[in-house]
C-alpha cells in the first residue's frame, strides 16, 4: 500500500513544543522569506470554535516561536525530513468570527530590538563595515554573520536620526552588499558570491511539476555600461573609468560620481553599480509542489523556457500548508554573468 504524504509544522513557543495543539486546529500556515532588504514573516491561521485562543491559550505579543516544516511519509528519498525556518517573534494576534478563527502573525526581526525602532545619532571614524555591523549587532542582542571578504574601510560613517537597520542597510547598499535579519542574526553577504554557487536543482518545464509561472524581460532602467568619474582626494588626480557589460551591444551609460582612489577601485565600483541597476532585467515567478530546496538565496537552473533558460537566484520564497497541501512559490531573477 502506498503511503500518504503529509506536511505539518513544528512550533516551539517560548521553549515549549505546541505542535500538537496547533495541528488540531490548523487551517493554514505560510512563511515568506526574502534574500535581502526585508524581514521574513510567517502566519498561522487556526479554527477556534472553543474560543481557546481568545482565552486561556491567548499568546503573548513578543513571544518567540521557533518554526519548522515537517515532511512525513513522503514516497521519496525525502522521507521524514525537517526544514528549520528559524525563530520568529509574535507581532500580531487577530481573532475573528463567525466561525471563530485566530491568526498569529510573526516577523524575523524582534520588535523590541532597537535595530528597527529607535532612531539614533552616532558616527564612526576610520572603521571597517564589519566592525560597525558588529557594534550594531551587539547592541541589538543579535549575532553577526559577515559572509563576504569585502570589508570596506569607511573614512567616516555618520548615522543621523536613523534606525540601526536603515543605517546599516544603506552602508551595505553603498558597498554593493546585501543584508537581511533572520533567526536572530544580522546576515551581510555578497550577492555575486551567492549567484556563483551551484544550482540546487533544475526546473525543467517538461519534467518538473509546475503549477503556474510568469516570466518577463524589461529594458526599462537597464544599462549597457557604467562610467565612473572621480577626483582623487590624495593626489588631486582626475580618475575616469568605463565598464561595458559583456552581454550588452546597445543601451544607455550609467553615470556615477563617487570618490575612488585608483582605476582598480573605479572598475570595481562601476561593476557593482551596473550589476545593481541590471539585476531585475529578466525575472520569473513560479508556483510548485512544496520543495525544501527552493529557499531564498539558492540558485536554480531553468530549462525548457526558451529565451528564459539559464541560471537564476531565488529572491523570495513562500511556503504554504493548507487545504491544497504543501506548495512553494518562488520569485527569481536571472544571475548576472561577467560582472
Note the pLDDT tens digit of each residue in 202-235: 999 999 999 999 999 998 889 999 999 986 666 6
Of 72, 107, 142, which one is at a domain's C-terminal end?
107
H or E, element range at 47: strand 41-47
The verdict on 150 and 201 lying in the same domain is no
Q: How are beta strands 6-13 and 16-17 bridged, if at all?
A: antiparallel
For position 225, what pLDDT does the model report?
A: 96
Specify the higher pLDDT residue, 335 or 115: 335
For position 5, what pLDDT does the model report?
A: 67
The per-residue pLDDT of the chain, averaged, comes to 90
The verdict on 258 and 211 lying in the same domain is no
pTM for the whole thing?
0.87
What average pLDDT score do residues 308-315 get?
97
- Alpha carbon of 69 to those of 8, 87, 190, 211: distances in Å? 6, 13, 28, 21
pLDDT digits (tens, 9 = 90+) for 209-218: 999 999 999 9
Closest CA to 28 of 86, 93, 104: 104
**Is residue 248 included in any domain, yes or no?**
yes
CB 127 within 8 A of CB 144: no
**Is residue 273 included in any domain, yes or no?**
yes
Assign residue 209 the CATH number of its domain.
Answer: 2.40.30.150
The verdict on 205 and 179 lying in the same domain is no
**Is residue 339 included in any domain, yes or no?**
no
Assign residue 245 the CATH number of its domain.
Answer: 3.30.1920
What average pLDDT score do residues 315-323 get?
95
Share of the chain above pLDDT 70, in %: 93
**pLDDT at residue 105 greater than cutoff 90:** yes
Give CA–CA dist 109/185, Å, rounded. 9
- Cell 536543482 belongs to residue: 201
What average pLDDT score do residues 238-253 get?
91
For position 74, what pLDDT does the model report?
A: 55
Assign residue 130 the CATH number of its domain.
Answer: 3.55.50.10
Q: Is the dihedral of CA 314, 172, 338, 221 positive or negative?
A: positive
**Backbone phi and psi for residue 260, each to the nearest 5 degrees, phi listed first:** -135, 155
**pLDDT at residue 327 greater than cutoff 70:** yes
For position 249, what pLDDT does the model report?
A: 86
For position 146, what pLDDT does the model report?
A: 96
The verdict on 33 and 147 lying in the same domain is no
Q: Which of the four pLDDT bands, split at 50, 70 and 90, describes residue 73?
A: low
**Is residue 22 included in any domain, yes or no?**
yes
**Is residue 137 included in any domain, yes or no?**
yes
Q: Which of 42-46, 151-155, 311-315 has the lowest mean pLDDT?
A: 151-155
**pLDDT at residue 124 greater than cutoff 90:** yes
Domain containing 167 equals 114-189
Q: Which of the four pLDDT bands, split at 50, 70 and 90, describes residue 159?
A: very high
For position 118, what pLDDT does the model report?
A: 83
The verdict on 123 and 164 lying in the same domain is yes
The verdict on 180 and 139 lying in the same domain is yes
Compute the C-alpha angle 60/70/198, nearest 5°: 110
For position 1, what pLDDT does the model report?
A: 40
**pLDDT at residue 178 greater than cutoff 50:** yes
The verdict on 185 and 204 lying in the same domain is no
Give CA–CA dist 132/232, Å, rounded. 25
Give 228's contacts (C-beta < 8 A, 6+ positions apart): 239, 240, 241, 242, 243, 256, 257, 258, 260, 266, 267, 269, 270, 273
The verdict on 184 and 99 lying in the same domain is no
What average pLDDT score do residues 313-317 get?
97
Task: Look at the chain and report how many structural domains it folds into.
Answer: 4
**CA terminus-to-terminus distance, the chain:** 53
The verdict on 97 and 118 lying in the same domain is no
For position 235, what pLDDT does the model report?
A: 63
**Is residue 309 included in any domain, yes or no?**
yes
Amino acid at each position: 500500500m502506498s503511503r500518504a504524504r503529509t506536511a505539518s509544522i513544528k512550533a516551539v513557543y517560548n521553549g515549549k513544543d505546541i505542535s500538537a495543539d496547533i495541528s488540531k486546529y490548523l487551517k493554514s500556515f505560510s512563511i515568506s522569506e526574502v534574500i535581502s532588504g526585508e524581514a521574513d514573516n510567517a502566519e498561522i491561521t487556526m479554527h477556534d470554535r472553543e474560543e481557546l485562543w481568545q482565552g486561556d491559550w491567548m499568546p503573548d505579543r513578543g513571544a518567540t516561536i521557533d518554526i519548522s516544516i515537517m515532511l512525513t511519509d513522503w514516497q521519496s528519498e525525502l522521507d521524514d525530513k525537517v526544514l528549520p525556518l528559524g525563530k520568529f517573534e509574535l507581532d500580531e494576534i487577530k481573532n475573528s468570527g463567525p466561525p471563530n478563527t485566530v491568526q498569529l502573525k510573526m516577523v524575523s526581526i524582534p520588535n523590541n530590538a532597537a535595530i528597527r525602532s529607535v532612531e539614533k545619532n552616532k558616527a564612526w571614524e576610520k572603521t571597517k563595515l564589519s566592525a560597525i555591523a558588529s557594534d550594531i549587532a551587539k547592541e541589538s542582542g543579535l549575532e553577526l554573520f559577515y559572509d563576504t571578504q569585502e570589508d570596506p574601510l569607511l573614512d567616516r560613517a555618520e548615522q543621523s536620526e536613523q534606525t540601526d537597520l536603515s543605517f546599516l542597510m544603506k552602508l551595505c547598499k553603498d558597498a554593493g552588499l546585501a543584508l537581511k535579519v533572520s533567526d536572530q542574526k544580522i546576515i551581510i553577504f555578497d550577492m555575486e558570491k551567492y549567484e556563483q554557487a551551484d544550482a540546487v536543482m533544475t526546473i525543467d518545464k517538461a519534467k518538473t511539476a509546475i503549477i503556474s509561472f510568469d516570466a518577463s524581460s524589461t529594458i526599462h532602467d537597464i544599462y549597457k555600461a557604467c562610467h565612473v568619474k572621480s577626483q582623487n582626494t590624495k593626489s588631486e588626480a582626475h580618475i575616469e573609468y568605463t565598464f561595458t557589460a559583456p552581454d550588452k551591444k546597445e543601451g544607455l551609460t550609467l553615470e556615477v560620481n563617487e570618490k575612488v582612489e585608483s582605476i582598480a577601485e573605479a572598475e570595481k565600483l562601476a561593476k557593482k553599480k551596473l550589476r545593481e541597476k541590471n539585476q531585475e532585467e529578466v525575472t520569473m515567478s513560479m508556483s510548485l509542489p512544496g520543495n525544501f530546496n527552493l529557499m531564498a538565496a539558492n540558485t536554480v537552473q531553468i530549462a525548457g523556457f526558451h529565451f528564459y533558460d539559464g541560471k537564476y537566484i531565488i529572491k523570495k520564497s513562500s511556503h504554504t500548508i493548507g487545504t491544497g497541501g504543501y506548495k512553494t512559490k518562488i520569485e527569481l531573477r536571472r544571475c548576472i554573468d561577467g560582472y
